[in-house]
Amino acid sequence: QLQASGGGLVQAGGSLRLSCAASGRPFSNYYMGWFRQAPGKEREFVAAVSRYGINTYYTDSVKDRFTISRDNAKNTVYLQMNSLKPEDTAVYYCARSTVITRTPAEYSGWGQGTLVTVSS
């Protein structure tokens, strides 16, 4: 199971750090990804990190603003979000995959997500 947390209401230009705690499976066996889904839109890839945190991947709209990282000792993946914009407003989900991919269908373990609202 994966449980995302850390969302909230923030003004544009502000920061939030999301956390995703994993349980039930060997955490370091999996690539971890963050996705988001805004109202009326499809779920989209945000960022992913390789099994030991060496390689990271981002969608273009968050590059240089968001940072994904993981702590395998704590079975947790993080998403540091800086310079937030109103268009970042969405429910953010974490998930795991056995391959490095941006495709939601390749991921599993979706939890409830955490809502991020950025006001202008």
In order, the DSSP letters of 27-89 are: GGGSEEEEEEE-TTS--EEEEEE-TTSS-EEE-GGGTTTEEEEEETTTTEEEEEE-S--GGG-
The pLDDT of residue 1: 87
Q: Report residue 44: phi and psi, to 5°.
A: -125, 150
Q: What is the pLDDT of residues 31-45, one digit of tens each?
A: 999 999 999 999 999
Of the chain, the end-to-end C-alpha distance in Å amounts to 34
Q: What is the pLDDT of residues 82-93, one digit of tens each?
A: 999 999 999 999
Residue 25 has pLDDT above 90, yes or no: no
Contact 32, 94 (CB under 8 A): yes
The pLDDT of residue 112: 87
How many residues make up the chain in this entry?
120
Most distant pair of Cα atoms in the chain: their distance: 40
